[in-house]
Structure 1
Amino acid sequence: MAIVTLADAKKQVNVDDDDTSNDVELLGFIDAATAAVEEQLGTVVEPRTCVDELDFRRPTRSFLLQAVPVISLTSMTSLDGSRSWDLSPAAAHVEKASGRVTLIGATVSGTAILIYEAGLTVIGANIRLAAKIIIQHLWETQRGTMGVQLGGDDEGYVPGRGFAIPRRAIELLGNQLPGVA
C-alpha cells in the first residue's frame, strides 16, 4: 500500500492518466514524498519489511526495534544462525507503537538479526494529502511554474526545514514548526 498512487500523483499535478511520459519522474517524487513524510513523522508509514542487527552485550529480555509502528515480528536469529527465538504471542510481547519487544521466559545476548514488518495499517487522509502537496511542490519547482511571490502568503524558508516540504504539508502531518510559543 503506497502513500500515494501514480494515478493520485498525476491527478494532483494535472497530468492525464494516459500520459506516461512523466511516470518515472512522478514515481521518484512519490518515493521522495514518502521519505519526507516518514522523516517528518519519525515513523514508518508505507508498510515494509525491516531488518535490524542488534548487539546485546549482556543478556536481556527487553529491547527496542528501530522502525515503528511494528505490524508483526517475522524472525529473530543469532548472527551466525545457530540460534533462533520463539516470537509467538506466548513467547514475546510487542508494543507496536514503541517497538519494544519483551521476551517471556527467555533472554537474548550477542548479536541478533530481527526481521519484522513495520508501517501503518491505515494511512490517514491527512498523510495522503500532505504527500500529494509535497509531490505537487516538487513538480512545480522542477518546472518553474510556481512564480515568484514576495511577501504575503509565500511558503518561505523555515530554518532547519528547507524548501522541500511546504508548511501546509507540515501542518497536515501535525508537527509544530520550530519557534517561540
Structure 2
Amino acid sequence: MPFDLGATARLTAECRDPGGTLTTASTAVCTITLPDGTSATPAVTVTGEGQYRADYPTVQAGRHLVRWVFTGPAHAYTDTFDVAEAAPLGLFSLAEAKRHLNLTDTTQDDEVRAWVDTATEAVEWFVGPVVPRTVTEDHRFAHASSIVLRQTPVLEVATVEPILTGGTSYLPADLTPPAASGVVQLLSGGILTGPLRVTYTAGRRVVPPSIRSAALIILQHLWRTQQRPSRPQYGTGDFDVTEPIPGLGYAIPHRAAQLLSPHQLPPGVA
C-alpha cells in the first residue's frame, strides 16, 4: 500500500553470498530515486546477519525506486514504493467505509483505504471529477470563440495564460462562468487567442446522495470479491454484475450504475 506523504518508509533488504547464505557485507548503501529524479541515501542499519533496514521520511508523492548495493560480498537488490498525494482521493472516510463493510478492527485499514480510492475512481469514470482537484491543461488553438475544458464539472477557473512568450492572458473575471460542459467564453463575446494554458478546479462541492451510495455499493462489491468463498453465494450480491460495462468490465454492480446514470457525462465529455 502507498505510504502517506510525510510518513516514514521503512525499507528492508538482505545480503546473500553467491551460495545464498545470509552474510553481513563490508558496505551497504541504500539509494532512493524520487519521482522528480533527485536521490536520497538514508542511513543503513544492520538488524541481523545479512539483514538491513533504512528509514526514509517521505517528501514527494509518486513512485520511488529503491536500490540496495552491497560489497564484500557483491550483492544488489532493487525495489519500489509509492507515496500517496497529501489530499485524499476517496469520496468518503476510512471510518465510513469500515462502517459500511461492518469492520471493527484496524488490521485491514490500509487495504480498505486502497479500495475506497478504487471505488472513487470507478465513480468518476461515470460522472467526472467528484473530489475537487486542481487541473492544468493546454489548449493548442490559434483563435477560437470558446474553450471546452476537459474535466467537468468545473467549479472555477483560476488562470488562463499563454503558452508562448508574448501571447495573450485572460482574467477569470473576463470569462463566462464555466457551464456543466466546461465551455468558457469571453463575456465580451470576442475571440480567444491561443495557445493557452488553463488552470481550474474541477469536482463537486456537494456530492449527491446517489453518487455517495453508488460509491459505497462499488466498495462493498470490490471488497467482497477479495473476501468471497470459492463459489458465488446467492443473495449476497455475487451475481449483481451479469454483463460487462464498457471500460470497466465486471467491476461495477448494475444497481451502482443505475444510481450514477442521472449524473453520467454526455458522450464526448471527459
Give me the TM-score of the superposition, normalised by structure 1. 0.82
Task: Name the structure 1 match of 2:140.
Answer: 55
* Greater relative contact order (CA < 8 Å, ≥ 6 in sequence): 1
Looking at CA atoms only, which structure, 1 or 2, has the larger radius of gyration? Answer: 2
RMSD between superposed Cα atoms in Å: 2.4
Task: Name the structure 1 match of 2:254.
Answer: 167
Structure with higher strand content? 2
Gapped regions of structure 2 (runs ≥ 5):
1-87, 263-270
- Partners of 2:233 and 2:207 lie apart in 1 by 33
What amino acid is the match of 1:104?
Answer: L
Over the matched positions of the two proteins, sequence identity in percent amounts to 35
Task: Name the structure 2 match of 1:9.
Answer: 97
Gapped regions of structure 1 (runs ≥ 5):
176-181
Task: Name the structure 2 match of 1:115.
Answer: 199
Task: Name the structure 2 match of 1:24.
Answer: 110
Question: Residues 24 and 80 from structure 1, CA distance in 2 versus in 1: closer, same or farther, beyond 3 angstroms?
Answer: farther
3-state SS, counterpart of residue 49 of structure 1: strand
| Cα offset, 1:110, TM superposition | 3.2
Task: Name the structure 1 match of 2:182.
Answer: 99
Aligned length: 168
3-state SS, counterpart of residue 113 of structure 1: strand
- Partners of 1:130 and 1:63 lie apart in 2 by 31
1:64 equivalenced with 2:151 (yes/no): no
- Partners of 1:146 and 1:27 lie apart in 2 by 25
Give me the TM-score of the superposition, normalised by structure 2. 0.56
Structure with higher helix content? 1
| Cα offset, 1:102, TM superposition | 0.4
8 Å Cα contact 1:3-1:127 kept in structure 2: no
- Partners of 1:102 and 1:167 lie apart in 2 by 38
- Partners of 1:50 and 1:112 lie apart in 2 by 14
8 Å Cα contact 1:61-1:104 kept in structure 2: no
- Partners of 2:134 and 2:106 lie apart in 1 by 29
- Partners of 1:21 and 1:108 lie apart in 2 by 55
1:74 equivalenced with 2:174 (yes/no): no
3-state SS, counterpart of residue 93 of structure 1: coil
